[in-house]
């Protein structure tokens, strides 16, 4: 039985218990008709509780049998009153009270509460920010965990919605997916909802449907939990210059609307608190206590996924192996080339020149090194919306690279495979760098100024 259902049953029993006192008074005063009407209300309440228990626990549950005994006692008292038989008010009250206490004790002790937890990823490539939490919930015998991928839209420059995307078919085989149209949030009211999209209407490039904004989801649960889809470079609470450059990650709608926010470290928690105290212009002890209880520095599930993904367990596509393997069957060194949205937006054509240069270098050395190019999954939507002319040139570059076939192009949702498979990282600064650092493998940052 769900927590909310058990609370509903407990509240009904509490109301029934209150009615017993009034029934006692009516019988003592000779107000038989009023007493009979209240008895009928108690009987209906008992039936409602019994039906709820049958639906969740089964018809043979012991609490159902005790409710049947209670309803039988009500029937007998009601019959005696309707037949104008003499009825002792104290005895009637005592009988009903004894029967109801047994029901209450059974409800408390014989019916365990099951949690229902919902996970709402939107991009499959960001599922790793929720996956380890889902796995823990899924393994809990007293928890029903639902993964409900939600759609998202590309946005036009004027903010209107363009193309809709749904990636529910891109999750690991062992992750059961529920269609978002099939889950009734209002009826089910999950005990907790986990999200990784913090922006609501504030993202210029993409948007989930307004129903799935954090502002709306909080209406359907008692615990809305936001876990960022990204990992930031670690910052100390006294590094004001660095904090200034990441404030926009903190002051998002989900951080304000969620009941709990899980961040990557204790230091990052203190940074969040500092930014939020300043953003709300409230530095009172009460405000600090509020944010301290709300922001949890428990670590990022993205790092859990990196550490649990082993190279020997990977399923590697055959077309990748054609690039990776040498003629003698040994493997080339694999370089993970990561290109970010931010670098393209900042450097524009200069960034494209850099990418052409990098691809040329790796092409010349393709007999010894395999390039695994994995661009940020939102590059297409971002460039089409914010740099449409640059997008055409970028798209031409990608198509040429893929057509030539000498390197790997990874546009899958599984970044952890690329991290585990590769021998070193080269590319832009992004949250992938923070993840890659956990492997201990070499990292080299891309410098857009170097093209020769």
DSSP 144-198: EEEE----EEEE-TTS-EEEEE--TTSS-TTS-B--GGG--HHHH--SEEEE---
**pLDDT, position 62:** 96
In the β-sheet with 369-375, what is the strand arrangement from edge to edge? Answer: 408-409, 369-375, 333-339, 424-427, 443-445
**pLDDT, position 449:** 87
Which residues are within 8 A (CB) of 347 and not within 5 positions of it... i.e. 6 or more apart? 354, 448
- Three-state secondary structure call for residue 300: coil
Better-scored residue on pLDDT, 384 or 198: 198
User: Using one digit for the tens of pLDDT, what is the confidence trace for 432-443?
Assistant: 999 999 999 999
Q: How far apart are CA 131 and CA 311, in angstroms?
A: 19
- Locus of tokens 């450059």: 245
452: pLDDT confidence band, cut at 50, 70 and 90? low
The conformational region for residue 394 under phi > 0 = left, psi -120 to 50 = alpha, else beta, is: alpha
**pLDDT, position 384:** 87
DSSP 230-252: S-PPP--TT-HHHHHTTHHHHSS
Q: What angle do CA 191, 126, 315 make, to 5 degrees?
A: 115
- pTM of this structure: 0.78
Distance of CA 435 to CAs 295, 395, 443, Å? 21, 27, 11
Q: How far apart are CA 228 and CA 446, in angstroms?
A: 25
User: Using one digit for the tens of pLDDT, what is the confidence trace for 83-137?
Assistant: 988 889 999 999 999 999 999 999 999 998 989 999 999 999 999 999 999 999 9
Q: What is the mean pLDDT of the chain?
A: 94
Phi, psi of 143 (to 5 degrees): -135, 135
């Amino acid at each position: 039985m769900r927590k909310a259902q058990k609370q509903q049953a407990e509240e009904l029993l509490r109301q029934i218990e209150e009615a017993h006192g009034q029934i006692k008074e009516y019988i003592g005063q000779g107000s038989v008709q009023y007493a009979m009407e209240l008895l009928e209300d108690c009987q209906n309440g008992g039936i409602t509780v019994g039906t709820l228990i049958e639906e969740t626990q089964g018809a043979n549950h012991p609490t159902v049998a005790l409710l049947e005994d209670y309803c039988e006692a009500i029937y007998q008292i009601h019959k005696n009153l309707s037949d104008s038989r003499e009825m002792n008010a104290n005895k009637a009250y005592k009988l009903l009270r004894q029967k109801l206490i047994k029901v209450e004790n059974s409800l408390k002790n014989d019916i365990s509460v099951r949690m229902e937890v919902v996970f709402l990823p939107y991009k499959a490539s960001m599922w790793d920010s929720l996956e380890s939490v889902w796995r823990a919930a899924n393994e809990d015998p007293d928890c029903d965990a639902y993964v409900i991928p939600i759609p998202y839209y590309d946005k036009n420059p004027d903010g209107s919605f363009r193309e809709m995307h749904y990636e529910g078919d891109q999750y690991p085989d062992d992750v059961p997916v529920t269609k978002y149209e099939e889950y009734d949030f209002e009826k089910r009211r999950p005990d907790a909802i986990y999200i990784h999209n913090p922006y609501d209407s504030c993202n210029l490039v993409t948007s989930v449907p307004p129903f799935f904004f954090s502002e709306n989801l909080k209406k359907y649960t008692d615990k809305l939990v936001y876990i960022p889809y990204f990992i930031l470079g670690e910052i100390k609470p006294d590094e004001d210059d660095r904090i200034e450059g990441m404030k926009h990650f903190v002051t998002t709608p989900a951080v304000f609307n969620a009941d709990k926010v899980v961040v990557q470290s204790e230091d990052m928690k203190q940074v969040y608190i500092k930014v939020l105290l300043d953003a709300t212009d409230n530095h009172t002890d009460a405000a600090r206590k509020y944010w301290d209880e709300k922001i949890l520095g428990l670590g990022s599930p993205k790092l859990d996924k990196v550490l649990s993904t082993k190279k020997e367990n990977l399923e590697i596509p055959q077309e990748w192996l054609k690039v990776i393997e040498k003629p003698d069957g040994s493997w080339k060194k694999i370089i993970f080339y990561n290109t970010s949205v931010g670098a393209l937006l900042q450097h524009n054509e200069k960034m494209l020149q850099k990418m052409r240069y990098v691809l040329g270098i790796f092409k010349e050395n393709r007999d010894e090194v395999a390039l695994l190019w994995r661009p940020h999954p939102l590059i297409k939507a971002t460039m089409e919306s914010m740099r449409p002319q640059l997008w055409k040139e970028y798209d031409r570059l990608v198509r040429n690279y893929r057509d030539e076939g000498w390197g790997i192009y990874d546009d899958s949702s599984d970044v952890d495979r690329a991290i585990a498979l590769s021998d070193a990282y080269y590319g832009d600064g992004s949250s992938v760098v923070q993840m890659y650092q956990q492997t201990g493998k070499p990292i080299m940052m891309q410098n857009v100024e170097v093209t020769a």
